[in-house]
Structure 1
């Protein structure tokens, strides 16, 4: 089975010229946690997830993790949290998004998709054909389609 056979072809995405506000609106409206970032040719140029935004929100703090249960915040800036959030919303998506995007071709075998998702510890992979975004495939898609005929 190939990626294009189980991918979702109606992909939520944002443009490279969009700001974080438009990303957050998509996350909230569609109950999603990440989207590909595309240029005007629909080529994948980056990927942004809720984790990327979360890391950016916390970027102002130096955090020391003593153990799995103990976290010390060493220092932080004095800028008001609400003010930082307002500034983040106006940032261009490419200021936070990951530029090195794991992606697969539409003809990639599902076993290879599963291996990439597992090895890279990511939830979703954009799918492209001839360099253009055509879909997205998630860990759940792979699990559902792999096991549905035997359960």
Structure 2
């Protein structure tokens, strides 16, 4: 089996100029953990995940305290979290996305895609041809495929 035979072609994506809030709504509405980010011409330029959003919020909300004996304590400041939430959600996706999303071609064998996912510790790969997004394959897609071929 190759990528074009397994990929989801109805890909939910977001433009780089859309807000983080819009991305979060799409992630929630479609119960997915990541989105491809495209430019105004529809070319893949990156990805944004729920993890990216959580990391950004957490980095802003952490306060670091140093004691006199040198140990460091990290505490989450909920007031900072609440104050910065709206600001962060209004930022454009391009400020928080990961550049260089992992891509494969439509003819890439599923075994190779599995190796890429495990080696690069990613949950999804985007199937592209000349920067044009054709589809997406997730870890769950591969697991479902494997399970469907197990003999009872």
**TM over 0.5: same fold?**
yes
Partner of 1:67: none
Structure showing greater radius of gyration is 2
For normalisation by structure 2, the TM-score amounts to 0.85
Partner of 1:30: 30
Aligned residues: 144
Task: Return structure 1 stretches of 4+ with deviation > 4 angstroms.
Answer: 75-79
Residue 84 (1) aligns with residue 49 (2):
no
- The Cα shift of 1:106 comes to 1.2
Partner of 1:99: 99
Partner of 1:148: 148
**SS at the partner of 1:80?**
helix
Residue 48 (1) aligns with residue 48 (2):
yes
**SS at the partner of 2:24?**
helix
Partner of 2:117: 117
Partner of 2:14: 14
Distance 2:103 2:11 in 1: 14
- The Cα shift of 1:147 comes to 4.0
Partner of 1:135: 135
Distance 1:140 1:130 in 2: 26
> CA 1:62 to 1:105, structure 2 compared with 1: closer, same or farther past 3 Å?
farther
Distance 1:86 1:56 in 2: 13
* 1:86-143 deviation line (CA, Å, top 9, x unaligned): 0011001011100121111111110110001111111111111232001100111112
RMSD over equivalenced CA pairs, Å: 2.1
For normalisation by structure 1, the TM-score amounts to 0.86
> CA 1:149 to 1:80, structure 2 compared with 1: closer, same or farther past 3 Å?
closer
Distance 2:36 2:146 in 1: 24
Given that 1:37 and 1:46 are in contact with CA atoms closer than 8 Å, whether structure 2 keeps it comes out as yes
Distance 1:63 1:114 in 2: 39
Given that 1:41 and 1:132 are in contact with CA atoms closer than 8 Å, whether structure 2 keeps it comes out as no
Distance 2:132 2:64 in 1: 39
